[in-house]
């Protein structure tokens, strides 16, 4: 038996550590023909993402190496609030076998 304790945390800006207000989704270079990209062979790749970068209102994201400089941008509004949260594991306890 195993007990895991998790809670939701908000992503922080990858440059300054403040709470993130924007998520930039980047695709790999040549994403439509690059087999390693999640947009490979797709006509509509507007919801595809190979790498997400979270930034605050003041910081500008840097394009990850090997990725196309264009990105989809999602603000931390009510519609996209779930994108800014992740599960953080705080404890895992192992019980005895029955």
> pLDDT 10s digit of each residue in the chain, 98 long?
889 999 999 999 999 999 999 999 999 999 999 999 999 999 898 889 999 999 999 999 999 999 999 889 999 999 999 999 999 999 888 877 65
Instruction: Give pLDDT, residue 98.
Output: 58
Q: Hey, where are the domains in the chain?
A: 2-91
Q: What is the rounded distance in angstroms from the CA atom of residue 32 to the CA atom of residue 90?
A: 39
Cβ neighbours of residue 17 under 8 Å, at least 6 residues apart?
Answer: none
**Residue whose structure tokens are 């999640």:** 38
Q: 48 to each of 5, 15, 26, how far by Cα in Å? A: 30, 23, 8
3-state secondary structure of 78: helix
Q: Would you state the structure tokens that stand for residue 58, as one six-digit string? A: 């003041």
pLDDT at 1: 85
In this prediction, residue 53 carries a pLDDT of 96
Structure token pair of residue 87: 């599960």
pTM: 0.82
Q: Which tokens in the block code for residue 50?
A: 């190979």
């Amino acid at each position: 038996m195993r007990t895991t304790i998790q809670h939701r945390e908000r992503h922080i800006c990858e440059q300054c550590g403040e709470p993130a207000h924007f998520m930039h989704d980047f695709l790999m270079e040549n994403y439509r023909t690059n087999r390693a990209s999640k947009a490979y062979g797709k006509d509509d790749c507007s919801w595809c993402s190979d790498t997400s970068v979270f930034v605050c209102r003041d910081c500008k994201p840097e394009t990850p190496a090997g990725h196309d400089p264009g990105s989809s941008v999602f603000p931390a509004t009510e519609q996209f609030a779930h994108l800014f949260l992740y599960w953080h594991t705080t404890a895992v306890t192992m019980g005895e076998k029955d």
